[in-house]
Amino acid sequence: MAGFLGEKEFLTRDRVKEILRKKEYSYLEEKVDLLEVRDDALLVKISLLIEYRKKMISIEEKQPIVLPLKDFIVEDWGDGVRKIADIE
């Protein structure tokens, strides 16, 4: 029997995926930490913090991710006003 406040919701991984997919959260903080620069790759860790119905839910990568630097566009923005050139 649900009380006057309604049924208590128990979160599962599938429910958290649904909350993210349907954008049911009221706050989102995205964070990428650069852990290390290897020969030709970046080692990063991704984490998210969302607020859902006055609950804070943390989502964090279990293992760092290796991203090849060749997959990134690297640009020289000079003084920040406009792009000057691509960096090869």
The 3-class SS string of 41-78 reads: EEEEEEEEEEEECCEEEEEECCCCEEEEHHHCCCEECC
Q: Which residue do the tokens 């969302």 mark?
A: 50
Angle, vertex CA 43, rays to CA 37 and CA 46, nearest 5: 140
pTM, full prediction = 0.70
Q: Which residue has the higher pLDDT, 87 or 28?
A: 28
H or E element, residue 9:
none
pLDDT (tens digit per residue) in 53-77:
999 999 999 999 999 999 988 888 8
- If you average pLDDT over residues 18-38, what whole number do you get? 95
Distance (Å, whole) CA 76 – CA 78: 6
